[in-house]
Every structure is written in structure tokens, then in C-alpha cells.
Structure 1
Amino acid sequence: MSIEILTLLFFGSLLFLLLLGLPLVFVLGGVSVIFLYFTWGFDSFYMVAAQILGTMGSFTLVAIPLFVFMAMVLERTGVARDLYRMMQLWFGGLRGGLA
């Protein structure tokens, strides 16, 4: 099957399932798994697993959970609210100041 038809089928099925009201995570995961199996066969899942394991060893991805943790700590302690209030006082009078 040509790449153009596969692309149309993939995005068409994504759009159809999203319009049915299914959650995005299940639509993306399910359609990807189905198309992966029918395009390259069962052995392609080993390739995906190897790529995921290789990516998990990257130290760059350590910043993501630490950033989320920092945001949660700032929100729970009230520092985020105070920072927002300070920025509003400083730049609120300017056009597009908080943006």
C-alpha cells in the first residue's frame, strides 16, 4: 500500500475516533499500534521497545519530571500566586504586560 493511502487512512481514523468522543491517549495509542502491526508486522514492536529503552537512558529527559515537581511545589507553597501578583503589579499597566 502506498504511503499516501496509509497517511490518509491514519489521519482519517484518528479524526473519526476523536469525533466519536474517545480520549486522545487511547486514540493515538490504539491507532498507532494497529497501523504499526499491519504495516511492518509483529517484529516492529521489538523495534519500538528498543527505541523506548534507548530514549529512557537520556539524561535530558530527567528535566521533565523535575520541572513538574518544581511547579507543584511552587503552587502548593503559594509562591506561584505571589509571583503572579508581583508580575501583575509591575507589568499590569503595560499593554500586554502579563502576556
Structure 2
Amino acid sequence: MSRSRRKTPIVGHTTCRSEREDKKLWHQRWRTRERTALASTSPDTLDAHLTLLENQVSNVWSMGKDGRSYWPLKRQVATEDRIANRKGCNPQERASLKKRLLRKWMSK
């Protein structure tokens, strides 16, 4: 996996690494409410039961990631140039910084 690359440069707007904990909480809440709704209905009305929607249990916008966007390679290169020129002191350091940033952004 050390050489795995991102095939499409789509990245999430986030400060967190993943939404795993948010999804676990959402799913736990959803299962609990669904279980209580099924327990409170009679066997005769089970056919009329509708499952809960995602929006009825939690808000997607309150989760860790705020969405996704396409970040083309051309803009990544422009951003890496700008950062390397600002932080690098000599040409060798700038080149290694550019290489490191692009590898970081293109990795999974």
C-alpha cells in the first residue's frame, strides 16, 4: 500500500481524518430508534411501518467532513509551487518540498 495512488483527485473539506466515529454514532442512534419503533407497533401494522430517514436521526452538516470537491492536478502543482517558494530557502529544499507535498496530496 505504500505506492497506492489516488486515482481521482477528490478530497474532503475537513480537519479530521475520517467520519468513522460520526457514522458509528449516527448508525447507533438510527438502530435504537428503529428498534423502539418496531417494538411499539403491533404485528398487524408491521406492513405499514416505514423506516426512518437519515435526516430524522442526525444532521449530515454536523459531521466531521463538510463535503467533497475536485482538486485537479494543475491546481495542486500551482499550490505546491506557492508553498515551496514561501517556505524553501534554497532550490534543493524547494524541490524536495514540492515533491513531498505532491506525494502527500496524491496518496490515499
Query: Which has the larger strand fraction?
Result: 2
Higher relative contact order (CA 8 A, sep 6+): 2
Query: Which has the larger helix fraction?
Result: 1
